[in-house]
Structure 1
Amino acid sequence: MSSTASNVKHHASRAADSKPLEFLARGGFVGYGIIHLLFAWIALQVAFGGSRKESDQSGALTELASKPFGKTLLVIIVIGLFAMALWQLFEAIVGESGEQTKGAVAERVISGIRAGLYVYLGWVAIKVVQGAKASMGDNSESTSAGLMHSTGGRWLVGFAGLVVLGVGIGIFVYGLSKKFTKHLNTGQMPAATRQPITRLGMAGYMAKGVAYSIAGILFVTAAVTYDADKARGLDGALKTLAGHPWGVWLLALIAVGIAAFGVYCFAQAKYRKI
């Protein structure tokens, strides 16, 4: 390793151990939990009330902004999300344990992806605070439509769908196998709460995995049928379910799982290894 790379890792490692960053990142998990609880509530409204609200994280942010002091809370959440992104970026650079095994390298890649996700969600939240239109579904549909009008664009949309499908399956397996528990300080948990927290994490990750898998399938369908309307990400996936009698109940189960993930985020705020 070059001296420059070693120096970068050294400074990143020191920054990752910053107590203020840890405090802000833990607060970010609380905000992330609130977003998912609102996301779950909107999904239930879509399932049983025929709501046309954006049934994804951007819809949850918009819902929060409409409440008293909602925009103030959104600003606080943005700070937490950016702190989480910075923490995950440091994890991507130095790794959680400093190991160089294939598994550790994969974790660092995942940390980098999480950092990008938190930055994107924070950016969407900023747009909501500013009163600008910030629909993830519309952005996804618009991008897909643009791609499909370019040479090879349909193949790119289809490939993106396969990637999202793979991510969804990966998230589902991640929850089912309880791999997320290795990131928790389980020894600090009271014995009575350890199993409930684990079950919340399992339900949450598996529900999100199903939702992303359906979104991926719809992206592939959009490419095959040349219909960008289907490429709306989670919003399109959940509203597609709501359009079928059997899908309504699956959507309700997904909503409950997303709510479980929201509560699990509160547990992460206290017990996540940071």
Structure 2
Amino acid sequence: MSLSLDAHGTASRVARSRSLELLARGGFVGYGLVHLLFAWLALQIAFGKPADEGDQSGALRTLAQQPLGKFLVAAVAVGLVALAIWQAFEAAIGHRADRGRERALERVASVGRCVVYLYFAWTAYKVFSNASSSSADKQQALTEQLMSSPGGRWLVGLIGLGLAGLGVGLVVYGVVKRFEKHLETGRMSPGTRRLSRRLGVAGYSAKGIAYAIAGLLVIGAAITYDPDKARGLDAALHTLREQSYGAILLTLMALGIGAFAAFCLVQAKYRKV
């Protein structure tokens, strides 16, 4: 029992360490930069201009092509790893302000965030090491491989359903302003709080819509046995562009993703870490 308490205490001290806090806050800046470039690629697609893939891997490759780009990609990777470590500790020891069922749900959410941050950190590393290939092509190839196996189409359909559910969850998370519970709102001026609220609502809603569309496309790929549709966010953006008023809708989505990028900067300063 004492060993368990000692381990918990050690984990708590590491999770609250100043060095990890600074790295995590820097990670939010890098995460925001990736989403800002993602929004730029979405705008390029909206206006019919040639662009890299409309997803986070395309954003990282775009960043790597700029002056000092490789250095920035490496810095983003380090920051994302710090975010993943922080969320892993949050999942292990629990959130300080939460109790009971809410505490358990937040631990699950922290596990999910940890996985997301690690995935993007790995993507950044692959871009940095010049080993990154098309993530959309990888998703399409994996979908094709899964659908060729027994029960694979059902599995792909379930993955699409999960992705669509994640998108809906992000929209709800933003609309009900649940993100505010993770911010030190007491340190904000009234104007800053209003701005952070608007950025959070717009940002999470735009991301959620993009993921929901991607999930529906994956479900469609399973139903029609068409792996070409299962290309993640890139396919979602191009599909939206092809609809009536698609350029306008995609522009609005890009602005929403840009709002999420700005919200990441708010988190860098005011997130409870």
Class of the TM-score when normalised by the shorter of the 2 chains = over 0.9
The aligned amino acid for 1:128 is V
1:127 aligns with 2:126: yes
In structure 2, what is the equivalent of residue 57 of structure 1? 56
State the AA in 2 paired with 1:263: A
Question: Contact 2:123/2:132 (CA < 8 Å) preserved in 1?
Answer: no
Q: Residues of 2 paired with 1:242 and 1:121: CA distance?
A: 25
The CA deviation at 1:95 is 1.2
Residues 201-222 of structure 1 show CA distances to partners (whole Å, capped at 9, x for unaligned) of: 1100000010000011001000
TM value normalised by structure 2: 0.96
Partner of 1:264: 263
Which residue type is aligned with residue 105 of structure 2?
A
Match of 2:183? 184
Partners of 2:12 and 2:89 within 8 A in 1: yes
What amino acid is aligned across from residue 25 of structure 1 in structure 2?
A
Equivalent residues in 2 for 1:1-274 (5 A)? 5-97=4-96, 99-274=98-273
Classify the secondary structure of the residue corresponding to 1:96: coil
The answer to whether the 8 A contact 2:43-2:251 is kept is: yes
Matches of 1:194 and 1:251 in 2, distance apart?
A: 27
Rounded to whole Å, the distance in 2 between the matches of 1:92 and 1:205 is: 22
Q: Which amino acid in 1 is paired with 2:93?
A: V
Residue identity opposite 2:41 in structure 1: I
Q: Which runs of 4+ in 1 moved over 3 A?
A: 2-8
For residues 54 and 267 of structure 1, the distance between their equivalents in structure 2, rounded to whole angstroms, comes to: 27
Local SS of the residue matching 2:245: helix
Distance in 2, Cα, partners of 1:191 & 1:241: 36
* Identity %, equivalent residues: 52
CA contact (8 A) 2:41 2:51 kept: no
Contact 1:124 1:134 survives alignment (8 Å): no
Give ranges in structure 2 of 5+ residues lacking alignment: none
Gaps of 5+ in 1: none
Cα 1:173–1:69 shift into 2, 3 Å: same
TM-score normalised over the length of structure 1: 0.96
| Superposition RMSD in Å | 1.3
**Structure 1's 78 and 59: CA in aligned 2 closer, same or farther, altered over 3 A?**
same
Q: CA deviation at 1:4?
A: 5.4
